[in-house]
Amino acid sequence: MTTSPTQGPPGPDLPSHRAPTRRQEDGRPAHEQRPAVSPHEPSLADAEVTRSRPAPDDGRRTTGRPHVVVVGSGFGGLFATRHLAKADVDVTLVSRTSHHLFQPLLYQVATGILSEGDIAPSTREVLSGQTNATVLLGEVTDIDLDSRCVRSQVLDSETVTTYDHLVVAAGAGQSYFGNDHFALWAPGMKSIDDALELRGRIFGAFELAELAWDEAETARMLTFVVVGAGPTGVEMAGQIAELSRQTLRRDFRRIDPTSARVVLVDAAPKVLPGFDDSLGRAAHEQLEKMGVDVQLGAMVVGVDRFGLDVKDSDGTTRRIDARCKVWAAGVQASALGAQLAEQSGAELDRSGRVKVEPDLTLPGHPEVHVVGDMMALEGLPGVAQVAIQGGEHAAREIRRSLAGEATGEPFRYKDKGSMATIARFSAVADVGGRKFSGFVAWVLWLAVHLLYLVGFKNRVTTLLKWTITFVGRGRSERAVTQQQIIARRALAQRGQDAATASTTQAAPTRSGTESVSMSTDVERDGPAGGDADGDGSHTDEERDAVPGDRGLDVREERVRAQQDG
């Protein structure tokens, strides 16, 4: 195993971190020295990771054992790693996050039932007892099949890790079907950041509705649109409706939270398209009973900060005014899939998933397995069980290869059923060919999700919070901050600024004021957007639906004063 910071491809001259290390002036080994970092550079834990700092490595390359690299800490990656615990190999798991995310419960983080820690335990903690496993933080940016190396990056630190076997389980992100600009106003729900942003937007909408000056503005604030009538969309719409009609009904004085309008929109002709028709009808009826406005055969063709445009099946286009929009329709596999396809000659499906061999390997590369949301095989759905079983299958194939046994056994998926919860005491489930709805399905849903949560303490805290929510109708995770809402836009703006700076670095400016910092742009635009009329000022209507906009205006005035001075 070789793991090293680099500016180029790996080679035989890469340093071993087991080699003797020289001591610096402070008496620590060279690889533990903390290099000087500019205070203006991005930092993580006070800039502990920089381009000159060696990457973590426990020196297992000296064991001479085969090296397995796993990309991604989701279901596929984590279960593949754990399934190799007793194998005579070294395993390195590389992930862009430091946690394992139980994605099916993200909507409960967004609606204040659970905290992010309840569904996202630290990957290092989960694997702390597995002595042959190493965890590296970093987003994999390149996989070179010929040289068998993986390149990952976090902040300004780049790491190259070589492998003998590779499991790619990098997952998928939200798809906007070619309209990525919709994401600015309609966040998806694929990460902890997404869920926290949506929590801020949902609860913030109620807060600003309490401050609204007329009925039209109050109506906009209290209209919530969920795009996508699959399991995630159904669960999200049901929880927003329950939140407004139960949890918040006594908490405000000027507005009536129970009057909130929740709209579920989908171009499909039915709710829960992947489920049996009877279960789809049961979910549809329950949603309408809760007051959710279900609009099917309706395609979203435009999204802005004040609402969205919908095209019905008859071709007519109409407007839905709403400040809070949630996108729960469509997925797009990681961009790593395109890299693997280009190098191996594999095909991609329309969602960017790699069409793998029956044993989940890449064509011509039996040492590379692709699992989870990144693989396309026999129309298997992108659900947790496919990823879990795929990761375990890949691990078994690796163990057979190391033992000199025949490999290439086709992957056989065991369908354990499908479930979706709608609200308290209400769900639909298809288990072993038997179909359930209502309270029985809800109990099954609770049991299955508790079973697959990673970690005993996570199960206990989740069960406690479910008791608070479903029995007492309270929600323990209602704290929101402005940063939750503006962070995504701030990071996007930072990337745009960096790209602009790289192309205009040599161009002079008249007074130095044309180049505006990322923080100034975000403060000028508010939590989720800019100046609609382009005059550099904000009307009240141009402010977004989050608390504390006046604080942004004050900081903007200070910045302008400094520039003018």
Annotated catalytic residues are 235
Residues composing the chain:
565
Q: Report the C-alpha dihedral over residues 79, 365, 14, 46, rounded to 10 degrees.
A: -40
* Residues 51 and 146 sit within 8 Å (Cβ to Cβ): no
User: Which residues fall within 8 angstroms of residue 164, CB to CB, at 6 or more apart?
Assistant: 66, 67, 68, 148, 367
In DSSP notation, 427-465 reads EEEEETTEEEEEHHHHHHHHHHHHHHSSSHHHHHHHHHH
What are the residues facing 132 on neighbouring strands? none
Written as one letter, the residue type at 541 is E
* Residues 247 and 473 sit within 8 Å (Cβ to Cβ): yes
317-350 core/surface letters (b: 16 or more CB in 10 A; e: else): eeebebbbbbbbbbbbbbebbebbbebbebebee
Per residue, the 3-state secondary structure of 262-282, as one string, reads EEEEECCCCCCCCCCHHHHHH
Q: Name the 3-class secondary structure at 192.
A: helix
Handedness of CA 452, 327, 218, 196 (dihedral sign): positive
